Structure 1
Amino acid sequence: MKLDQQYLEAALKAGRQYSYLPFSLHIFDSVASTNQTLWGLIAEGAKPGCVVIATQQTAGRGQWGRQWSSPSGGLYLSVAIQPKLDAADSYQLTLASAWGIASQLQKCGVTLGIKWPNDLVLDGRKLGGILTETKINHGQITQAVIGVGINWANPVPETGINLELWQASQLNKAIPSLEMLTSQVLSGIESGLKCLFEEGVNILLSDYLNLLINMGDRIHVNQLAGTVVGVTPQGNLRVNLETYNTKEVISSEIYIEPGTISLGYKKSSV
């Protein structure tokens, strides 16, 4: 499967609401990792807005050093940005990208939600994910790469779903090609970053929570029951824990950092 760069550039030009990032596209059939390839281009002088796109990764990486299975037929892309952001707030880039992509695809009739912190979910199964990497100097982010993987026509595990088959089952062809999906994902990243940097993190968080499938979920933390009530500006999960004494129920809110617990997926029988 090979991307048609002219078709992609035309779709991107036609579909963008604004030009917040000066996209420069670099398309490959296969790379070890789009993030890794883009960092190499940045070292050679690539500017913010540089994009690396592939339909296969041979050494894809997920969050917290996990392997990211990236078989042929998927969409794997990375975008270079140069945000003015404190290092402590770096997760806002992931929140912005997740919300932007999900809301953009929803406009195409894809009923996408977000599973905390960085998964894109369709019909309860994983459609894609986001890996943001940054370089820090004196407590400030100097460079960042936002990596995205979306299942298009590639094989997926039991907990995954691919968009081409889902659209066929829904008789929905709003996204008819990999080029159109790529255009929508890039436009989504752009709109998410624009929201973060122009409207602020509080507006972004409100929008993100509207798409978060975990809101109200009952979970267990250190053998205590709790309810998911939100996400902090740093990307931590807000959980309201309930403890009991002989007379009353005592509630307390705790914050859970990404990577310290897994909210998991159910295996589908489909």
Structure 2
Amino acid sequence: MTASYVVTGGGRGVGRAIVERLAGADDVVAIVERDPGALSWIDDHPAAGRLLPVIGDASDEAVAARAAGEAAAVAPLRGWVNNAAIFRDAWLHEAPAREVLGLVGLNLDPVVVGCAAAIKHFLGVGERGPTDDGGAIVNVSSHQAQRAVRGAFAYATAKAAIEGVTRALAVDYGPFRVRVNAVALGSIATERSDAYVAALGGEERERFDREIRLLQPLGRMGMPGEVADVVAFLLSEQAAFVNGATIPVDGGRSAVGRDPEEA
């Protein structure tokens, strides 16, 4: 076993794909999940002995510290992926401002807590003092950080903040050989999206497919494994000079401009 990683929200969808990609043939991955049922697949997985379930809230500092400790106890901790997210929102004119700020925190807090746990470990705070080993963090953002969707104020705000966190920490901790990057996802096919599409009627399904073709120039939704490949690259030595970047993984969604005359 050559290295270990921590992935938050690693039980389903994109998170699970990242876990499976990082585990590879030799490495260890600690998976932070609130729902034990989301990790029921681990026991039958070929890498079961190298997948460490950590049940708890990713925004809880004690849970994050436990994940770092359990991973590092098996192999040197080299990377951390902040993937955990919650899709809840509210209109600012309807909900109290403090409630909306709480919703922003649901997606921002786990990232700040995860980054803190990872950086403390990479720097050896409270253990052995700073080292030259460094490490890498990848934060999972969204196309909404730059182009908000109506009705998703709290989510879009949190994702924009996550990209700001990514840049600021890259500047603060780059001198310690800690790299911090982000991936900004477009529409990715997961169990959640598959269930949504399956529930659509024929005409609604056609409209959904057409909108995806218009929004993402590659003409389709992305696959979780495609996200996992980019995350694995950013954590690897191949990306040793990539720091403070947000990489779109969106099929060109962030590049396209809808032409009003097209219709």
TM-score (norm. length: structure 2): 0.32
Higher-strand-fraction structure:
1
Higher-helix-fraction structure:
2
